[in-house]
Every structure is written in C-alpha cells, then in structure tokens.
Amino acid sequence: MALPALVLLAAMLIWGVLAAAAQIRCVDAARVGARAAARGETDAAELARAAAPPGAQVRVAMAAEVVRVEVDAPCGAPGRLGGLLAVRLGATAVAAREDTLVGVTGGAGIAGGGGSWPT
C-alpha cells in the first residue's frame, strides 16, 4: 500500500521540478525577447520563441517608450495524468526602448540635463 503512494509522490515531485525548470525558461525567454525588441531587432519574437519551452506562445507589444514580451507555455504532468494536471506557465518582461531617444533635442541637451550645477 505504501509503495504506490511513494511512486505517486516521486512522480509529482519530478513533475514539480520540470514545471519549475519550464517556468525559468519562460522567464529567460521573455527577458531575451524584451532586450532584443528594446534594441530594435526585428527577430525578437523568434529569439524569445527559441529560448522558450516547446509549444510556447510569444507576444511582443511595442509602445512609445517600452516594449513588453509575454511568454505562455503549457506544462503537462507525466504519464496519463498529463491532461488532468496540466498547467500554463508564463512570464512577462518589460524593457525601455533603446532605438528611440526620448526627450533629447540635440545641442547642449545631449551632454547633460541642461540645468546648472548645485553650489
């Protein structure tokens, strides 16, 4: 009676470790995609998809000053419990856009804030 319970416990613990690893891959993929999109790279979604777990969906949203990358991936349990205990993992990363200069008018504004030094 105790052996099947231990096997089930071990399977659930292994599934938990695999789900945690997939979550870390989602976080890394969102970060990679956000950094690439912030630099203005056109293949940011493909880079994020390559770093994400299999079957992941990647969405890139560009705003005026920031980019937002969302990664969602399914994570099924091992064996016959896969459909019953499946969870969705996801991560979001936001980065300031580097391909646009906001608030820079040229001339002296590039060198500093334009104000006087405190005395």
* Predicted confidence (pLDDT) per residue in 6-38, tens digit: 988 888 888 889 899 999 999 999 999 999 999
Please name each of the domains of the chain with its CATH number: 2-100 (3.30.1300)
Q: How far is CA 103 from the centre of its chain?
A: 28
**Tokens representing 108?**
């002296």
* Radius of gyration of the chain measured on its C-alpha atoms: 22
Instruction: Examine the pLDDT at 111 and tell me if it is beyond 50.
Output: no
Spatial CA neighbour of 37 closest among 103, 96, 82, 85: 96
| This prediction's pTM | 0.76
Instruction: Examine the pLDDT at 119 and tell me if it is beyond 60.
Output: no
